[in-house]
Structure 1
């Protein structure tokens, strides 16, 4: 399976990808769900764990009919959850958005193109359709079996999943993606990170067997560096979805893996200490350009949850990352009123898990979490996981310097 890059040719006048003021709809916390105009040259970047993986759509019932449960769900029109996901995106109107937990389907016409054509490009509850002419999707490690089997192995899959591609991810963009410059780190081995936190036994020996250590990939899904061209300005999207730091034992294998998945980005954007990194094409070293945005469901918080100590602070306190205040919502605060950090939560169980982290050279002029309070418009879209997802869409507005556009 290989990465797929999808430019979509549109009729003249349907979509303007030039550097113009953009009419948008803000998130619920963020003033209202009513549309308002962004300043000129403002780029809205978002991440959204959409929980669009096949087990949500009664896979046992439908796979025999469709070959893939997500494909069936998208074609059927039976699942209001998908319409609600599309409506949330139409309300917030990001220019670039990463969808986490959108199953990887190699043929885009059986997956992401169905979602775009039949949902995003169709008005949901009266909101304007939205079009993304550029798409990046690629394989992930979840559900991919290792060469090992039997009672003596702990490493049966490279990433947790019932089938290859479960909990995948896809990037949608209004602006061109430089396909030939994309870097991915799906196959980077955990052991090749100096000073890694691979779990150990009480006696200090490796928790994994020698053969497992030799094959264990660091990324539970993948790490993508995707250059996006916005007129004469390039912004690199650094996308990932590290493993949750739970569902393990005292060895804390998932917590340590989450930490090191985040460390990969920390090292990648640092001036030194990234010579060990190699991507899936064999290119070594870290990030050499100027502007980036780290985004995704990073499954870590510095104040809530079970993350390995300092995991997310590797990024939040990095000198190359913009230290703007965390996006907030009234819905998040009311969800956990006893938690003083509730307004920054992005997941219903009470944690800031989803992040959009621009580089320090980019000016952040707005941010928010789509989490309407019960009395606000759109509250029904986030009533529970069945309504849309157990995560909320997080967005950040970046004001770019004067651009030269064709």
Structure 2
């Protein structure tokens, strides 16, 4: 059995290493206000068509320097026409040498609709107005597809076997964390539900989407499990975003085990979960810190301490270490001081060779690539290098 990679034929036996990365690239319309365009997916389409935007060129340079085989992008606006969206990014930026670097190619890509900016008829943020967008959308967004997701791969994607969970209803999760307004007098049982009955029945759990994208790496299948849970802030005492973040992460944790994920259905209404002994890599901006700033005990631990997940090798960087004097700051992936972005492989089927966060120190010539959000993003690219072990 052979697979074609960048024009060369490689036997399945020769494919034994895999570098997987995630990168919140801040490529959504409000990051390009200087263009003077109204926020919509047309803003990113324009940026991608030119090949000349400095922030995107820096994003491309970072990707070329790390050169992952599989790359998850968060905050990459959903554009239905891939030739104007993710494929334009590959063609006009990644296939073009940045600063003399070797271009990279991703012949296989996947994008799909997300809940951000998808309008509802409800006043979900309880500001007295049902506006459809913003806080009243299924996931916070000013227009459909804002803060979207895209997967890039050097290896074939098994498109027919993809599962998405954009429309899974929050109330269908067993024992969900229901947001309530605490009783002012502290009376137990007198709390007021944040969402009314009709809203709660309709509300989707995923703020963007949850994906299971199988990638064919030689004769093996690697499930890329991608998500971008909502930030656990921008709310009030009801903690609706914090509770949603917890349950978004829980959905993926339950999906890993057939016994835990029996309640989960995909966007086709089919009950699905991973089978035993599946190779997987969890990727994305999970908006949940494992230590330090904004760490909420027991949230990200649903994944990092999951028996099927390998969190033994934590990606680090010199730049992150300089953010504060704390001993754990070298694991930060976001400029404000937190590990928010994750690449977590399964314990089954992989050996972890190395891992890192692209965050050069201020003394490095490459610091120009990460000095602020205008340079690239407020998040850093995180990568893990894996060896694929033989099936047992």
With normalisation by structure 2, the TM-score equals: 0.90
Alignment pair present for 1:161 and 2:141: yes
2:186 aligned residue: none
Alpha-carbon separation, structure 1, partners of 2:195 and 2:34: 32
Question: Of 300, 319, 322, which aligns to 2:288?
Answer: 300
1:391 to 369, 373, 379: 379
- Matches of residues 6-405 of structure 1 in structure 2 within 5 Å? 14-16=6-8, 18=10, 41-58=16-33, 61-63=36-38, 68-148=42-122, 151=128, 156-202=136-182, 203-288=190-275, 290-306=278-294, 308-336=296-324, 338-361=325-348, 362-401=350-389
For structure 1, the residue ranges without an aligned partner over 5 or more in a row are 1-11, 22-38
- Structure of greater relative contact order (alpha carbons < 8 Å, 6+ residues apart): 1
Q: 1:67 to 1:176 in 2, by over 3 A?
A: closer
Residues 130-167 of structure 1 deviation map (CA, whole Å, 9 limit, x = unaligned):
00010010000001111225826696210011100000
Q: Which range moves more in the overlay, 224-233 or 286-295?
A: 286-295
1:38-82 CA-partner distances (Å, limit 9, x unpaired) = x96210000000000011112772359x97111111223442100
Deviation sequence 1:251-307 (CA, Å, 0-9, x none)? 111111000000001111124121111110111131115110011000101313335
Tell me the CA shift for residue 377 of structure 1: 3.8
C-alpha spacing 1:391/1:67, structure 2 compared with 1 (3 Å): closer
Runs of 4+ in 1 over 4 A off after TM superposition: 152-155
| Counterpart Cα distance in 2 of 1:16 and 1:288 | 32
Q: Secondary structure of the equivalent of 1:180?
A: helix
Cα deviations by residue, 1:294-337 (Å, 9 ceiling, x for unpaired): 1100010131333543110000000000132211001001122x
Name the CA distance, whole Å, in 1 between partners of 2:97 and 2:381: 19
TM-score normalised according to structure 1 size:
0.87
Match of 1:5 in 2: none
- Separation (CA, whole Å) in 2 of partners of 1:278 and 1:358: 23
Question: In angstroms, what is the RMSD of aligned CA positions?
Answer: 2.2
Partner deviation per Cα, 1:7-59 (whole Å, 9 max, x = no partner)? xxxxx9843373589xxxxxxxxxxxxxxxxx962100000000000111127
Deviation at 1:200, TM superposition (A): 1.4
For residues 148 and 310 of structure 2, what CA distance do their matches in structure 1 show?
A: 27
